[in-house]
Amino acid sequence: MKKLTLGTILFVISIFLVGAIRPACGASGKDKALNVPPKGFRTLFNGEDLSGWKGLVENPKTRAKMSKEELAAKQVKADANMRAHWKVEDGALVFDGKGHSLCTARDYGDFEMLVDWKIEKGGDSGIYLRGSPQVQIWDTARVGSGAQVGSGGLYNNQKNPSKPLKVADKPVGQWNRFRLIMVGDKLTVFLNDVLVVNYVVMENYWERDKPIYPKGQIELQSHGSKLYFRNVFIREIPKIVRAKEPNTLTEKEAAEGFELLFNGKDNDLAKWQGNTKGYVAKNGMIVVEPKLGGGNLYTAKEYGDFIMRFEFKLTPGANNGLGIRTPLTGDAAYKGMELQILDNTSPKYKSLRDYQYHGSIYGVVAAKLGYLKPGRPWPEGEWNYEEVIARGKKITVNLNGSTIVEADISDENVPKGVLDGHPGLKNKKGYIAFCGHGDKLAFRNLRIKELD
C-alpha cells in the first residue's frame, strides 16, 4: 500500500470536517423516502399493492415440465393464496406466516438487489435467487438450528461455502438491509453494509448436477413465521460485450475510434515504456513478474481525456494501480492520479480506509464495493473488466458492468488538504501507467479512445 504523505494525513483530518468525495451509493431506507429507489435502481415493490408479484407454483424443474395451460391454471390458484396471506401495511410487505412464498412476476439474470427485511422472535425466511434457495434470514437465537452463524449465508450450498463470514444481524424486530450482487453463478452479499458472502458459487438446489439457472424469479421465502419487507429495489447488470478474440477490438469499438495499447504478441510492448522487464508480454497477456524488476510501466504517449478499457486478473492480495495523467517520475498517486487495482478481499487488507479499496482514486475518492472478482493462485482466477472515463474533472470507473466511481474532482469539490497533497489532480494530461507494488497479476484487452 502507499505511504501516507502530509497531504493525505490532512485529508484524513478533513473527513471529519467536510467529508470525503464519494460516488453515489444506494442509501438506506432511513435516508430516503420509503420505497423510492436510489439512482440506477427501479422499484420491485411500490409500497401500495402487490403489483409485479405473483404466488409460488412448485419449483423451476417442475414448472418447466408443465404445459402453458397447466401452469396458467396453477398460477391462478397460487395468486389467490398469495393475496390471502401477503398484505401491504404502512409501506411494507407483510406475511402472516400461513401461506407460500411471494415471487416476482418476471425472471432476472445478473442483477444487484436491495431489500430491507424484519423478523419477529424465532423468525425464519430467506431470499430465493433465480428460483433457487436461498440467502438465509433467521433469528440468531435459534442455536438449535445453527442460526448463531447469522443471516446472509447460502444455506443450501453443499460444495461451496454456506455460512456467512460474520454475524451482522440487528436485534429481532429491527430492520435489516441486504445488498445482493448476482453475476453468473457467483453471489456477493452485504448485510447492513457488512460483507458476509464474498463472490461465492450459489448452487442449484433443484438439480445438483447443474449450475444455477441463468435466469429465474426472485422469491421472498415463507417459512411459517411473520415477515416484513420494504425498499425492494433492483438494478439489472448488463452483459459485457467482448471481441471474439482477446486483444482485438469489437466492430463498434473500431468504428468509434478505439485503438489497441497491446496487440497480444509475445515480447511486444511497443506502445509502452518504463519497466518493460518486470512487465512481460506473453501468452496474450501483460504479466507482472516482480522478480524480474520493479517500477512502473507507462504508455509511450500522453493522454488527456480518454476512455480506457482493460481486463485484469488478480492473485491473492495483489496490489497494483492505474496511474492517469501522470508524469514519468514521482509517485503517480500524488503527481498524477492513481486508481487502485487491488485484491481488497484479502484478509491482509481488513483495515483499509475507504479511499484505498479497488477502483478508488487513491487518497481522494472512495469506490463502491462488492463488484470485484477476488484474486486466486496463479494461473487460476477470473478476468475483471474495467472501464475508465476521464473527461476534464469528471472521472468515472466502471467495474464488471457496474459504476463504482462517479466523481467530480474540481477544486471546489476537493478539500484543500487533499489538493495540497495531490497536485496531480490539476494535470490536464500525462501518461497512463501500471503502478507495480511487488505482486503478480495480469492484464489483457487494453484499448483506448481519446476524447475531444
- Domain annotation covers residue 30: no
- Domain annotation covers residue 118: yes
- Domain annotation covers residue 303: yes
Segment 204-212 long-range contacts (CB within 8 Å, at least 24 positions apart): 204/132, 205/132, 205/133, 205/134, 205/156, 206/59, 206/60, 206/61, 206/131, 206/132, 207/61, 208/158, 211/185, 212/129, 212/130, 212/132, 212/185
Residue 28 is predicted with a pLDDT of 40
Q: Domain ends where: 236, 264, 279?
A: 236
- Three-state SS at 14: helix
Residue 13 is predicted with a pLDDT of 43
- Asked if residue 14 and residue 62 are part of one domain, the reply reads no
- Domain annotation covers residue 161: yes
Answer for the pair 294, 279: CB distance below 8 angstroms, yes or no. Answer: no
- Asked if residue 12 and residue 61 are part of one domain, the reply reads no
Q: Domain ends where: 204, 236, 268?
A: 236
- Asked if residue 206 and residue 354 are part of one domain, the reply reads no
- Asked if residue 313 and residue 216 are part of one domain, the reply reads no
- Domain annotation covers residue 188: yes
CATH number of the domain to which 305 belongs: 2.60.120.560
- Domain annotation covers residue 31: no
Say how many C-beta atoms besides its own lie within 10 A of residue 245's C-beta. Answer: 10
Residues near 380 by beta carbon (within 8 Å), at least 6 away in sequence: none
Residues near 339 by beta carbon (within 8 Å), at least 6 away in sequence: 321, 322, 323, 324, 359, 360, 361, 362, 388, 397, 405
Q: Return the percent helix, strand and coil in the chain, to nearest 5.
A: 15, 35, 50
Q: Domain ends where: 236, 270, 287?
A: 236
- Alpha helices (H) along 320-396: 332-335
- Asked if residue 272 and residue 196 are part of one domain, the reply reads no
One-letter amino acid for residue 212 of the chain = I
Which residue range forms the structural domain that includes residue 228? 42-236
- Domain annotation covers residue 32: no
Residue 19 is predicted with a pLDDT of 41
**pLDDT tens digits for the chain (452 residues)?**
565 554 544 444 444 333 445 454 433 444 458 999 999 999 999 999 999 999 999 999 999 999 999 999 999 999 999 999 999 999 999 999 999 999 999 999 999 999 999 999 999 999 999 999 999 999 999 999 999 999 999 999 999 999 999 999 999 999 999 999 999 999 999 999 999 999 999 999 999 999 999 999 999 999 999 999 999 999 999 999 999 999 999 999 999 999 999 999 999 999 999 999 999 999 999 999 999 998 999 999 999 999 999 999 999 999 999 999 999 999 999 999 999 999 999 999 999 999 999 999 999 999 999 999 999 999 999 999 999 999 999 999 999 999 999 999 999 999 999 999 999 999 999 999 999 999 999 999 999 999 98
One-letter amino acid for residue 350 of the chain = K
> What pTM, to 2 d.p., does this model score?
0.91
**121 Rama sector, left if φ>0, alpha if ψ -120 to 50, beta otherwise:** beta
Residues near 234 by beta carbon (within 8 Å), at least 6 away in sequence: 41, 42, 44, 108, 111, 112, 113, 114, 218
Answer for the pair 438, 290: CB distance below 8 angstroms, yes or no. Answer: yes
Say how many C-beta atoms besides its own lie within 10 A of residue 213's C-beta. Answer: 20
Answer for the pair 401, 240: CB distance below 8 angstroms, yes or no. Answer: yes
Residue 399 is predicted with a pLDDT of 98
Number of domains in the chain: 2
- Asked if residue 125 and residue 273 are part of one domain, the reply reads no
Residue 33 is predicted with a pLDDT of 83
The pLDDT tens digits for 327-357 are 999 999 999 999 999 999 999 999 999 999 9
Find the largest Cα–Cα distance for the chain: 71
- Asked if residue 217 and residue 255 are part of one domain, the reply reads no
- Asked if residue 194 and residue 72 are part of one domain, the reply reads yes
- Asked if residue 244 and residue 232 are part of one domain, the reply reads no
